[in-house]
């Protein structure tokens, strides 16, 4: 568990399904990803995969971003081995429910997860891969200290993305 001034980042649990469904079904939230809004079944599968990943061999750590007073899941922040086979790095990603945008929660969550990665996990380099049209997310990662390194075209899904890097 990671506590910040305004958030608690914790492992996902089965009781989070309703919040996860709301989050992943919102077209605004997934606008810049290469997926469609999730159905109830897809949300359940996604949540199960996050919970199961805690015991897996592949490096992945997904944190539910919650409000401390209610334990409501308002997003998630992940550390994950880049799964595209083109880069051998750990990626940090963040998703926040649209009703909580522009409150600084994404910055706060990503900063906390970066500190965790560097100080608790011994990771020395993190990347962020952001859709080139998602200017808000690019600005977020630059503000935190990521430096744009290259433009990627992710084959098979046709997404042009900016890869940014932060080193400890």
d(CA 52, CA 44): 12
Q: Is the pLDDT of residue 158 over 50?
A: no
pTM summary value: 0.85
In a domain, residue 92? The reply is yes
pLDDT category, 163, cuts 50, 70, 90? low
What's the chain's length in residues?
168
d(CA 35, CA 22): 15
Structural domain tally of the chain? 1
Q: With beta carbons less than 8 A apart as the criterion, state whether 32 and 133 touch.
A: yes
Average pLDDT over residues 86-105: 87
**Domain CATH for 17:** 3.40.630.30
**What would the pLDDT profile of 39-95 be if each residue is shown by its tens digit?**
888 888 878 888 887 655 567 789 999 999 999 999 999 998 875 555 568 889 999
pLDDT of residue 112: 97
Helices (H), the chain: 17-24, 40-52, 105-119, 135-144
**What would the pLDDT profile of 5-22 be if each residue is shown by its tens digit?**
999 999 999 999 999 999
pLDDT of residue 164: 58
d(CA 75, CA 71): 11
Residue ranges with strand state E in the chain: 2-3, 8-10, 60-66, 73-81, 90-96, 125-131, 147-154, 159-167
d(CA 110, CA 89): 17
In a domain, residue 167? The reply is no
**What would the pLDDT profile of 116-153 be if each residue is shown by its tens digit?**
999 988 888 888 888 778 889 889 989 998 888 766 66
In a domain, residue 152? The reply is no
Question: What are the backbone dihedrals phi and psi of residue 96, each rounded to the nearest 5 degrees, phi first?
Answer: -125, 140
In a domain, residue 146? The reply is no
What dihedral angle (degrees, nearest 10) is formed by the CA atoms of 122, 127, 77, 112?
Answer: 50
Q: Could you list the residue range(s) of the whole structural domain that residue 32 is in?
A: 2-123
């Amino acid at each position: 568990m990671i506590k910040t001034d305004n958030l608690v980042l914790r492992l996902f649990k089965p009781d989070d399904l309703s919040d996860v469904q709301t989050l992943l079904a919102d077209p605004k939230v997934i606008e810049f990803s290469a997926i469609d809004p999730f159905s109830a079944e897809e949300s359940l599968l996604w949540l199960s995969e996050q919970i199961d990943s805690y015991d897996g061999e592949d490096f992945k750590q997904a944190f539910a971003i919650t409000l401390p007073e209610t334990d409501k899941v308002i997003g998630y922040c992940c550390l994950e081995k880049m799964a595209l086979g083109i880069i051998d790095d750990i990626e940090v990603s963040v998703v926040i429910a649209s009703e909580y945008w522009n409150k600084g929660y994404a910055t706060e969550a990503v900063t906390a997860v970066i500190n965790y990665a560097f100080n608790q996990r011994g990771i020395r380099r993190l990347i962020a891969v952001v859709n080139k049209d998602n200017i808000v997310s690019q600005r977020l990662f630059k503000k935190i200290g990521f430096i744009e390194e290259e433009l990627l075209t992710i084959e098979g899904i046709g997404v042009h993305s900016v890869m940014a890097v932060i080193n400890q």
